[in-house]
Chains A and B, each alone.
Chain A
């Protein structure tokens, strides 16, 4: 009898204990698990950067930090869901450079915006990776000038593949084409991998690729790198010039940053900013990023905001030149 009473009481006591501890912690953020929305499938840049960051944050914040993939519509699905999530600091977003482009494409098509850039408060920039321009080893093009000359001679005949229209590899290609004053033909594919496949199969002439995807092919000599889109040369390719050196005013990065919904309390954002600053300095995070050949580019909220605004301005300027495909 006595035993049974205890058994009935035990859950009640447990529940009370949990309730009271929850109440006690209610005023100190974070008091429960945090989720980071990644608007792309696992294995992409946003996912691979978010995971070591989440592992580090977990140690700093003493709360579980879960990465949740919400892929769809080139990231629009996940970003929209993050934009409208409860701004309490428990839902964050790991987004790529494309976060600036999607609202502008919506505007270009005159449709209601999926979300606005102002819906998000930047927490920190984590990584920035330039693009590398590659051609097949059999290609007659030995330099960007060769491509520009040929594209001037045969406008609209040189073909390039991309990871999707208005996507992360389409925009920088058009930025260069605009800077060089040439027109090329666009063959969109469903992703970075298929875009590379199209180049390797000889179905297109050039590709602006994320360095890590093309790395193995460059090393084996199957692809020839012609230029990078950063403002300084890459350590891995000391002989490959930047587009700026070549006289094209183009700078472009696939960057990955951490965001919170705009109305998130300042205190929570402060906690997160401090935690991220600690995390990016840990050997674990550095090690993880180094293994993926993804350069860390840490910038705190204010600096990140400046970087983001300048970057968005560069991207948005090019969209009217791409225009709508008829």
Chain B
């Protein structure tokens, strides 16, 4: 403990040195911008910035890039809440209840809670990173393809049950997303699937163009068809801050989102977007009024926004503790160190205490900076809603196109975004939720890969899924979920889905 405090002091003295402090703030600023701009996510932002860190010393470079990574999680919620356009893929869930809150004139509280939740999650998970990194990382490595597949199977089940509206429609949307996710090179055999000779489709259709298309473009198209603009445009100062009730409702979702996000973030190969879906589903399951989800429940903002911040921190655990790049963002961060001749490995924390503890301390500072930056920004961002649609929407459209193009400098991506926008518009008109489609696109390649890797490991025997304990636990939980869903059939009583249907019937009368 004493040693940790001593190390942390070293870290703070590193982080507070003028140069490093400047780069931490720069990273947070750029990260917020990257998060706000639709399309450009943390990966694209960090990739674009990587070359500019070659001239810096490694500590400053890592502090800058990590700042962009967690800073993006703060910014991502802004456009999701105000315009229903995910600023980056991990903010898709925030679109649902965040935007519903904005329509009710509670955009300010939604933004504020997103910032506060991000701050709590960011800070708490840095503590986790500091104390638990090495043992957790070793545990996470044991998480192989069978465990991963079982976890995702459980996740899909939870979602099918938890998303609002018609279950059949939701399942159909998940399957549609999974089918979209089949496009691209089959990683096990090298075959091209459904790519029709377009080489750029080899990697499948990316989640960014799908998310921006289904949410952003579809929203713009739908608005053009609405004669009335939603009446949310004159926020008073009192409306900018969450009410006491809203604070109270957010405390536990933030706490749960933090823990869930951190744990999911550590698992090698997982995307932080998954943590937001899981958190949303968990909050809905635990809520006393699940029927409010989708209509502006603050828990639906607080949980996922905390989860994605904690997950981004969790993703750094295996990278810093073991030097293993478990995802694309940590891989770029590792490259930023390698370029300076530092080869991270299990000895990294011991050999490079200045870099490790400097980064930790800079993350504490960065989260404070981001909170101080984002809370006042709420008042500014909210004024975007005052801009007339005829000016605002062409601008958003332009940012969507530029953002999506910039990720891979690919016109094909812009095409995918446009098609998805049209599809999203049609689906909205028929009252289908589009979030499950995005989820399917994200999960399909991971589920397929882990299933087939697991079967390759077991030489085709499905026994591998229940012989490995962690995997078995997930599968048993999935089974319980199904039984739970069947309970109303056996016992008399209504679960929230019934109540939701009844409420709808009442509305119609």
- Which residues from chain A sit less than 8 Å from chain B, CB to CB? 41-44, 47-48, 51, 67-74, 76-77, 80, 105, 109, 111-112, 114, 156, 159, 164-166, 185-191, 193-194, 196-198, 200-204, 212-213, 215-220, 222, 288, 290-293, 324-326
Given the complex of chains A and B, what is the CA–CA distance between A239 and B309 in angstroms?
A: 45
**Contact across chains for B346 and A217 when beta carbons are under 8 A apart:** yes
Identify the closest chain B residue to A218 (Cβ).
B345
Residue contact A217 to B50, C-beta cutoff 8 Å: no
Q: B340 interface residue, CB < 8 Å from A?
A: yes
Which residues of the partner chain A approach B459 to less than 8 Å between Cβ atoms? 156, 185
CB-CB under 8 A from B48, the residues of chain A are: 42
Residues A48 and B202 in contact, CB atoms below 8 Å apart: no
Given contacts A74-B202, A185-B459, A201-B268, contact A196 B324 (CB under 8 A): yes
A47 to B54, CA, bound (A): 13
Pick from B190, B345, B449 the residue with the most CB of A within 10 Å. B190
Is B243 among interface residues, defined by CB-CB distance under 8 A?
A: no
| B192 contacts partner chain A, Cβ-Cβ < 8 Å | yes
Q: Which listed residue, A43, A67, A164, A203, touches B335 by the CB 8 Å rule?
A: A43
Which one of B141, B199, B344, B449 contacts A197 once the chains associate, using CB atoms below 8 Å? B141
Contact A216 B190 (CB under 8 A): no
Name, among B144, B145, B185, B343, the residue most crowded by chain A CB atoms within 10 Å (CB to CB): B343
Please report the C-alpha to C-alpha distance between residue A313 and residue B325 in the assembled complex, in whole angstroms.
33
Are A200 and B331 touching (Cβ within 8 A)? no
Query: With an 8 A cutoff between CB atoms, is B6 at the interface?
Result: no
User: Which 6 A-B pairs have CB atoms at the shortest separation, nearest pair first?
Assistant: A216-B345, A73-B202, A43-B335, A193-B325, A291-B341, A201-B141
> With A and B bound together, what is the CA distance between A212 and B343 in angstroms?
7
* Alpha-carbon distance between A108 and B268 when the two chains are bound, in angstroms: 33
Contact B187 A219 (CB under 8 A): no
> In the complex, what residue of chain A is closest to B335 when comparing beta carbons?
A43
For residue A87, give the distance in angstroms from its CB to the closest CB of chain B: 19
Closest chain B CB from A204 CB (angstroms): 8
In the complex, are the beta carbons of A290 and B341 less than 8 A apart?
A: yes
In the complex, how many angstroms separate the beta carbon of B367 from the nearest chain A beta carbon?
Answer: 25
User: Given contacts A48-B339, A73-B200, are A165 and B190 in contact (CB under 8 A)?
Assistant: yes
Which residues of A sit under 8 angstroms from B332, Cβ to Cβ? 41-43
Cβ B347 vs Cβ A219 within 8 A: yes
7 pairs, A vs B, C-beta closer than 8 Å: A72-B408, A193-B326, A193-B327, A193-B330, A201-B142, A215-B343, A215-B345
A to B contact number (C-beta, < 8 Å):
164
Cβ of A105: which chain B residues have Cβ within 8 Å of it? 190
B residues neighboring A (CB under 8 Å) = 47-48, 50-51, 54, 141-145, 184-185, 187-192, 197, 199-200, 202-203, 268-269, 318, 322-328, 330-332, 334-336, 338-341, 343-348, 408-410, 449, 453, 456-457, 459
Nearest-neighbor residue (CB-CB) of A111 within chain B: B192
Nearest CB on B from A99, distance (A): 14
Contact A216 B323 (CB under 8 A): yes
Report chain A residues within 8 Å CB of B334: 43, 193
Docked-complex contact A202 and B340, CB < 8 angstroms: no
Specify which chain A residues have a CB less than 8 angstroms from the CB of B185 in the assembled complex.
73-74
Partner of A187, one of B323, B341, B456: B456
The minimal Cβ–Cβ distance linking A248 to chain B, given in whole angstroms, is: 25
Residues of A within 8 A of B324 (CB): 193, 196-197, 200
A196 proximity list for chain B (CB < 8 A): 324
B48, B202, B332 interface centre (most CB from chain A within 10 Å): B202
Question: A193 to B331, Cβ gap below 8 A?
Answer: yes
Of residues A68, A73, A325, A326, which shows the largest number of chain B Cβ atoms within 10 Å of its Cβ?
Answer: A73
Residues from chain B with a CB closer than 8 A to the CB of A76 are 199, 202
Q: Within the complex, what minimum Cβ distance (angstroms) separates B372 from chain A? A: 31
A217 and B326 contact, CB distance less than 8 A: no
Q: How long is the Cα–Cα vector from A47 to B462 in the complex, in angstroms?
A: 40
Verify A43–B345 contact, CB threshold 8 A: no
Whole-angstrom CA separation of A271 from B202 in the bound complex:
35
**A166 and B190: CB pair below 8 A?**
yes
Question: Given the interface contacts A112-B197, A325-B188, does A216 sit within 8 Å of B344 by beta carbon?
Answer: yes
Contact for B346 among A77, A111, A216, A326, CB less than 8 A:
A216
A291 touches B340 (CB 8 A): yes
Bound: A48/B335 CA distance, A:
8
> Closest residue to B413 on the A side, CB-wise?
A72
Pick from B141, B200, B330, B335: contact of A72, CB under 8 Å: B200
User: Closest chain B residue to A37 by CB distance?
Assistant: B409
The CA-CA distance from A19 to B409 in the complex, in Å, is: 29
Instruction: Please pick, from B189, B325, B343, B449, the residue contacting A219 in the complex, using a CB distance under 8 A.
Output: B343
**A291: which B residues are within 8 A, CB to CB?**
339-341
CA distance A38 to B47 in the complex (A): 13
Complex Cα spacing A167 to B318, Å: 24
Across the two chains, which residue of chain A brings its CB closest to B269?
Answer: A194
- B409's nearest neighbour on chain A, judged by CB, is A70
**B442 → chain A closest CB, angstroms:** 14
Q: A41-B332, A72-B202, A217-B323 are in contact. List 15 more A-B contacts (CB 8 A).
A: A43-B47, A72-B410, A73-B185, A77-B203, A156-B459, A185-B457, A188-B187, A197-B318, A201-B268, A202-B144, A204-B457, A212-B338, A216-B345, A290-B341, A292-B339
> What is the CA–CA distance of A70 and B338 in the complex, to the nearest angstrom?
22
Separation of A217 and B334 alpha carbons in the complex (Å): 14
Set of chain B residues within 8 Å of A194, measured between Cβ atoms: 268-269, 326
Counting chain B CB atoms within 10 Å of each CB, the highest count among A67, A76, A105 belongs to A76
Separation of A65 and B185 alpha carbons in the complex (Å)? 32
Chain B residue nearest to A72 (CB atoms) is B203
Find out whether the CB atom of B453 lies under 8 angstroms from the CB atom of A189: yes
| B408 and A70 contact, CB distance less than 8 A | yes
Q: Contact between A216 and B142 (Cβ–Cβ < 8 Å)?
A: no
Report the minimum CB–CB distance from B380 to chain A (whole Å).
32
User: Min CB distance, B382 to chain A, in Å?
Assistant: 35
Q: How far is the CB of B444 from chain A (nearest CB, A)?
A: 14
Once A201-B144, A325-B189 are accepted as A-B contacts, the answer to whether A42 and B47 lie under 8 Å apart by CB is yes
Q: Are A198 and B449 in contact (CB under 8 A)?
A: no
With a cutoff of 8 Å between Cβ atoms, the chain B residues found around residue A164 in the complex are 187
Given A166-B190, A187-B453, A197 contacting B343 (CB threshold 8 A): no
Q: A67-B51, A185-B456 are in contact. Are A325 and B199 (CB under 8 A)?
A: no
User: Which of chain A's residues have a CB closer than 8 A to the CB of B187?
Assistant: 164-165, 188, 190
Question: Closest residue of chain A to B145, judged by CB?
Answer: A203
Give A166 to B318 CA distance when docked, in angstroms: 27
What's the nearest-Cβ distance from chain B to residue A170, in Å?
10
Q: How far is the CB of B360 from chain A (nearest CB, A)?
A: 19
Closest beta carbon of chain A to B184's beta carbon, Å: 8
Q: Is B347 in contact with A220, judged by CB distance below 8 angstroms?
A: yes
Does the CB pair B338–A48 fall under 8 Å? yes
Chain A residues near B335 (CB-CB < 8 A): 42-44, 47-48
**Complex interface: chain A residues within 8 A of B409 (CB):** 68-70
Taking a contact as CB atoms under 8 Å apart, the answer to whether A43 and B323 are in contact is no
Q: Are B343 and A77 neighbours in the complex by a CB distance under 8 Å?
A: no
Q: Which residues of A are found within 8 Å of B189, using beta-carbon distances?
A: 165, 324-326
Contact flag A191-B331 (CB < 8 Å), given A109-B190, A203-B145, A222-B345: yes
Residues of B within 8 A of A203 (CB): 144-145, 457
Q: Give complex CA distance A194, B140 in Å.
A: 13
On chain A, the residues within 8 Å of B318 by CB distance are 197
Whether A51 lies near B51 (C-beta < 8 A) is yes
Contacts of A198 in B (CB 8 A): 144
Question: Bound complex: CA of A218 vs CA of B185, how far in Å?
Answer: 33
